[in-house]
Amino acid sequence: MAVGAYLNFNGNCREAVEFYGKAFDTEPQIMSFGDAPPNPEYPLPDEAKSLVMHARIHVHGSDIMFSDVFPGMPFVVGSNISLSVVTEDLDAIKSAFERLKEGGTIIMDLQETFWSKSYGSLTDKFGVQWQFNYGTGEM
């Protein structure tokens, strides 16, 4: 199981990821919201298509992940980081999610997505944001 940092940006994520990639001499992986499979129930606004949905750089054995906030979502500098748990142990994800949600707020309950058989996010009772992803985390 790995725990990594996940940073959010307000429209300038691609620039930040490319900057950090050069700084650490690593090639970033970048997926925009427009690269995701379309969902007719939630049409994607034009201004969101080029924004970064998920990006990753590998730095000295650790992954740092990034995304832009979706248009209209709140963004507060200094509160734009969460911890991301990535593992191929589904029971560990479910257990940690259940424990951390006590007294906290679920942002997205554990569920299947197009990138993971189980993904969820929450803010724990101490205000720390967590993301849980079943799988290797590879795009």
The string of pLDDT tens digits covering residues 36-72 is 999 899 899 999 999 999 999 998 788 999 999 999 8
Closest CA to 83 of 122, 111, 137, 42: 122
- DSSP β-bridge partners for residue 55: 30, 66
Nearest residue to 57 (alpha-carbon basis) of 86, 90, 19, 83: 19
pTM: predicted TM-score of the whole model, two decimal places: 0.73
In this structure, are residues 56 and 63 in contact, taking their beta carbons and an 8 Å threshold? yes
The confidence score (pLDDT) of residue 16 equals 93
Could you please report the per-residue DSSP string of 77-109?
Answer: TTS-EEEEEEES-HHHHHHHHHHHHTTSEEEEE
Residue 98 has pLDDT above 60, yes or no: yes
Please report the pLDDT score of residue 128 as a whole number. Answer: 78
Return the number of other C-beta atoms located less than 10 Å from residue 97's C-beta: 19
